[in-house]
Amino acid sequence: MTELERYLFDLQGFIVVENALTSTQIVALKQIIHQQIVKHNQPEANRLRFDSLLSWGKPFRDLIDNSPITPYLTELLGSQFRLDHDYIHIIRQGAGPVGSFLHGGGAPYDPCQFYEFKHGKMYNGLTAVAYELNDVNQGEGGFGCIPGSHKSNYPCPQAWLNLEQPHHCVQTVPVKAGSAIIFTEALTHGTVPYKVKKDNFKDNFAESRTTIFYKYSPQISAWARYYYDADNFSDLTPLQRQILRIPGISH
């Protein structure tokens, strides 16, 4: 991370990494996603969520240790970080698959989802990498958060949680396709309803907000209740197998 990126992550609780995915990766990922939408007979659904993406093919397994992102995870989580869980959100219009409400925040303290700064270094619990496969422009909704809330000493006011009418302190983050938003889960965040401008993508979701989430933890902690078995995938690299290890202290 650069000095500026460290400053912004500590200040805001998130940073944007542009060109985290190549155009070739985006095309391959979209093709697989479209196949899954057809397979599940959901081509006209306004919102979809799929979990456990590694079985969908090598393009998704390549994201385990995506080279533009891995150095950030190493600094934020330590060299022994692990992939905790993954999923994808597809939103054609309106609220996301799990609604539009703020969650997370520095208070109350969560031992799985935390942010601390000690001895000149950042320490994080569950940390998210959100890859956007399409442009998300200003005013269209998408990822929203209260910058700096990962260090808050008070819980977010209940009256501000509903993102159907976001409070003015909520900031949306416009990004270009292929960008990744890296954020600590201690940040108060959520999905601002997506505002569709076109209606020509019933089959391919070309203008949807399609976001792939890979969420990582320090090696000694876990948030999800399930783990991947690396032995189920024959094409993993040694580093990918390490990142899929179950939580615990290694000797």
Q: What is the pLDDT of residue 176?
A: 97
Question: What is the C-alpha to C-alpha distance for residues 186 and 135, in angstroms, rounded to an integer?
Answer: 26
| Exposed/middle/buried for residue 108 (C-beta within 10 Å: 0-12, 13-18, 19+) | exposed
Question: What is the C-alpha to C-alpha distance for residues 60 and 233, in angstroms, rounded to an integer?
Answer: 12
Q: What is the mean pLDDT of the chain?
A: 94
Tokens standing for residue 228 = 């991947």
DSSP 8-state symbol, 17: E
Alpha helices for 184-251 (secondary structure H): 238-243
Check whether 251 has a pLDDT greater than 70.
no
% pLDDT > 70, the chain: 95
Residues 6+ apart with CB under 8 A from 32: 56, 57, 59, 60
The Cα angle at residue 60 between residues 214 and 171, in degrees rounded to 5: 35
Residue 227 to residues 50, 55, 113, 143, 224, Cα–Cα distance (Å): 16, 13, 18, 26, 8
Average pLDDT over residues 189-212: 77
Q: What is the pLDDT of residue 201?
A: 47
Q: What is the pLDDT of residue 43?
A: 86
In tens, the pLDDT along 70-86 reads 999 999 999 999 999 99
Q: Give counts: helices (H), strands (E), the chain.
A: 5, 11
Give the pLDDT band of residue 205 (cuts 50, 70, 90).
low
In tens, the pLDDT along 97-117 reads 999 999 999 999 999 999 999
The pTM assigned to this predicted structure is 0.95
DSSP 8-state symbol, 158: G
Residue 113 to residues 104, 155, 172, 198, 199, Cα–Cα distance (Å): 8, 14, 21, 37, 38
DSSP string, 63-127: GGG-TTTHHHHHHHH-TT-EEEEEEEEEESSBS-TT-SB-B--SSS--SSS-EEEETTEEEESSE
Q: Which long-range contacts (CB under 8 A, 24 or more apart) does 120-123 make?
A: 122/6, 122/9, 122/10, 122/75, 122/76
To which residue do tokens 């933890």 refer?
217
